[in-house]
């Protein structure tokens, strides 16, 4: 790792990268792309050592509350976070100033432990979510029953009968 003194911490869309670079090593990660102009190895994490102070100053100056969002130039819970605790400190500042937080992190191991190789990844809240989904479909006349959607497989319509199936029930 190496440290830097940053000039600012929040982007125009309230995104925040406390670190630049990452040690999780996901093969699909596009943050290594040259288009992001990182002038150091991706695994040599750049630590913005004044980030918590910059964040506090920025939040104090904001007139309206909003969501603060973690950026994609790092994962907020990289291995270094265990020692440095910058993410933790910033979350405490965000909470103290009454802002909201949207955080994206790497939950790979948790998902593996929970779902293993399941074909379906069901929410604990599935019955409640399905109830809302079905109500909304009914309200907007959207066909969502598998039986109805796949009914076309059971007969071959003549050219005269055939008509393009629609998502919307009319
Ligand atoms: S956790 Fe995110 S930033 Fe880190 S390597 Fe994976 S995709 Fe890239």
Convert the pLDDT of each residue in 5-20 to its tens digit. Answer: 999 999 999 999 999 9
Cα 22–chain centre separation: 16
Same domain, 104 and 129: no
pLDDT band at 159 (very low <50, low <70, confident <90, very high): confident
Same domain, 100 and 170: no
Same domain, 86 and 150: no
pLDDT band at 48 (very low <50, low <70, confident <90, very high): very high
Return d(Cα 34, Cα 37) in angstroms, integer: 5
Same domain, 6 and 49: yes
Residue-wise pLDDT for 109-124, tens only, equals 888 899 999 998 888 9
Same domain, 37 and 84: yes
Domain membership of residue 160 as a residue range: 123-170
Task: Tell me the CA–centroid distance for residue 28 and ligand 1, in Å.
Answer: 8
Task: Tell me the CA–centroid distance for residue 30 and ligand 1, in Å.
Answer: 8
State whether the beta carbon of 26 lies less than 6 angstroms from ligand 1.
yes
Task: Tell me the CA–centroid distance for residue 102 and ligand 1, in Å.
Answer: 16
Return d(Cα 15, Cα 101) in angstroms, integer: 10
* Beta strand 46-48 pairing with 19-20: antiparallel
pLDDT band at 167 (very low <50, low <70, confident <90, very high): confident
């Amino acid at each position: 790792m190496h440290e830097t003194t940053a000039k600012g911490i929040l982007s125009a869309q309230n995104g925040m990268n406390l670190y630049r670079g990452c040690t999780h090593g996901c093969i699909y990660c596009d943050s290594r792309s040259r288009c992001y102009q990182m002038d150091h190895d991706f695994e040599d994490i750049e630590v913005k050592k004044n980030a918590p102070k910059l964040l506090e100053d920025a939040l104090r100056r904001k007139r309206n509350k909003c969501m603060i969002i973690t950026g994609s130039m790092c994962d907020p819970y990289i291995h270094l976070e265990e020692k440095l605790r910058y993410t933790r400190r910033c979350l405490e500042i965000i909470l103290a100033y009454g802002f909201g937080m949207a955080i994206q992190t790497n939950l790979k191991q948790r998902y593996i432990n929970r779902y293993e190789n399941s074909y379906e990844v069901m929410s604990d809240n599935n019955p409640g979510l399905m109830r809302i989904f079905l109500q909304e479909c009914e309200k907007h006349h959207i066909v969502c029953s598998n039986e109805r959607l796949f009914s076309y497989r059971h007969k071959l319509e003549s050219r005269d009968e055939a008509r393009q199936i629609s998502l919307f029930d009319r």
